[in-house]
Structure 1
Amino acid sequence: MDRFIIHNLFGIEGFNIAWYGVIIGCGMILATCIAAWRAQKAGYKADLIIDFVLFAVPIAIICARIYYVVFEWEYYSQDLTQIFNIRGGGLAIYGGVIGGVVTAIVFCRIQKFPLLKLMDFAMPSLLLGQIIGRWGNFVNQEAFGNVITNPKLQFFPYGVFIDELQEWHQATFFYESVSNLILFIVMMIVAKRVKKDGWMTVLYLCGYGAIRCFIEGLRADSLYLIPGVRVSQLLSAVLIGVGLGIAWGIHSGRLQSKTYKGKYLSDNVRQDGE
């Protein structure tokens, strides 16, 4: 299919609107709405999520670009101007996740809001955005896996035909999207039953880390730290380790959210408390 939903917007030659951007944008909007809704149900104002997102999104995009450029430096070093050509592609999810987490830490420190509580609001929505965003890879014909030589396996959703290569490859973008959807459903079920903050964060870090570690091994376009060592698999292991560490902290009582009475508390909860 055509990569662009609109060609030459406002009559400007080359000013095209890509399906990838539209899909990512829709994912961000839906993810923000879900997080705001969950925050309101928990007794907080939607402004908490809106204020956080206003900082997190641009920072996450910048970090996603930096992450990609660092590990593709051999290409970008030949023409530094291409670093700023985001329209040409090159955003890494893990870079965005790192940027979002760092933003959350700084935001919570400034606003004196419990970090684990904000992370628990954000993590399911982040995963939802990834579920939707992976379909941008389908339109761009990227993030695919190994070549499929067996004609009996050359069908979607197991495989996807890549026009540029004239070959069938494993549809790893689809595998990850569906796996993330299953994890999202599990997180929503667990969210109704747990009372301590942090478990949504643990589920995301361990669950997505495991999913990405497996699927990354099937991809044909991975970023490598050194030959044979895929960056995303290494980071996946780190995510799982951090998630297990947080789980231990919550279970042992060492990680607990402090009571919050600031401006993001909903008026009804504030009145009840008074």
Structure 2
Amino acid sequence: MFAIAALNPIAISFGPFNVRWYGIIIATAVLLAVWLAMREVHRQGLNEDLVYNLILGAIPIAIVSARLYYVVFRWNYYASHPGEIIAIWDGGIAIYGALLGAGLFIWWFCRRHQMSLWQVFDIAAPTVVMAQGIGRWGNFMNQEAYGAITSHSFLAHLHLPAVIMQQMLIDGAYRQPTFLYESLWDLLGFVLLLTMRHSNHLFKRGEIFLTYVMWYAYGRFFTEGMRTDSLMLGPLRVSQVLSVVLCVGALVVLIYRRRADQNLQWYDVENAKGDN
């Protein structure tokens, strides 16, 4: 048995400038998500120019907030290495930071332009979780977001392709492919949410988004517990704490809306326009 080199995280080099697979994969996931979301926007008859403006504002805010979130919880390191704060191409973004930043912007934008917030969230939710699932493969290329030390036999028992097992050989030891567990969970969530969105009179406006929050937070709680590079707040893993808050909070909101507002619109595939 012989060792196989890890995959090169750099896709293209132009002199001193490197284009990393991490950035290519993330960008591809975002573009695919935007394309799929805009198809649904068109189907539901929303103002496409207005939604494009929303997207053009939400994406950079998501990137900045994702990086700030990561830097804040790694401040002991970045305080001594301030020049690396902007080095987003090397990895180091937090999806929860992106979701919180973009979510606040979408809330503000919808209020300002009198758009249905729940409708926008329902359109975005399936494509966002799909992008998250694809984006985890950027972590794969960077050999990050992995779990504890394991054995080659354990990975082989999972029937993983050789390329994944070789990439999980990090610092002389095989690692749990937690990036893969989360990617598969996210892509399964994408299928679930699309199925919900195409089911007549089973779900009410906003419940696709709330299901997304619960689905992602539930899965992230467990994958985060397996990782060795978690952002910490004292003895607590930040993402696990936030996952519990979001999962429980989304469930409470879903139940409350069902009980408190009998006029909530059922999701209708043929007539998807919603209220606030």
User: TM-score range with shorter-chain normalisation?
Assistant: 0.7 to 0.9
Question: Structure 2-normalised TM-score?
Answer: 0.86
Structure 1's 117 and 87: CA in aligned 2 closer, same or farther, altered over 3 A? same
Aligned to 1:262: none
Hey, what does 1:272 align to over in structure 2?
A: none
* Matching of residues 117-136 of structure 1 within 5 Å: 117-136=119-138
1:179 to 179, 185, 210: 185
Deviations 1:25-56 (A, max 9, x none): 11001101111111211222333432211000
Q: Deviations over 1:75-99 (max 9, x none)?
A: 0111222212223321111100101
Describe the shift of the 1:160–1:49 C-alpha distance in structure 2 as closer, same or farther (beyond 3 A).
farther
Return closer, same or farther for 1:246/1:256 CA change in 2, 3 Å cut-off: farther
* Alignment-derived partner of residue 2 in structure 1: 8
Asked whether the 8 Å contact 1:32–1:49 carries over to 2, the reply is no
Q: Does residue 137 of structure 2 align to residue 152 of structure 1?
A: no
Say whether 1:249 aligns with 2:256.
Answer: yes
What is residue 228 of structure 2 aligned with on the other side? 220
Segments of 5+ residues of structure 2 without an aligned counterpart are: 1-6, 266-271
Q: CA deviation at 1:188?
A: 0.6
- The alignment's TM-score, normalised by the length of structure 1, stands at 0.86
Query: 1:192 maps to what in 2?
Result: 198
Does the 8 Å contact 1:23/1:136 carry over to 2?
A: yes
Aligned pair count?
254
3-state SS, counterpart of residue 84 of structure 1: coil
Q: 2:61 corresponds to which residue?
A: 59
Partner residue of 1:234 out of 214, 234, 241:
241
CA contact (8 A) 2:25 2:138 kept: yes
CA shift in 2, pair 1:64/1:257, >3 Å:
farther
- CA deviation digits over 1:101-132, x for unaligned, max 9? 11111110111111111111111111011011
Q: Percent identity?
A: 36
Counterpart residue identity of residue 181, structure 2? Y
Unpaired segments of 5 or more residues in structure 1?
259-268, 270-274
The aligned residue for residue 100 of structure 1 is 102
Aligned pairs for 1:18-57 within 5 A: 18-57=20-59
C-alpha deviation, 1:252, in angstroms: 2.0
Residue 53 to residue 256, structure 1, CA distance change in 2 (3 Å): farther
Cα distance in 2 for partners of 1:256, 1:74 equals: 50
Amino acid at match of 2:245: V
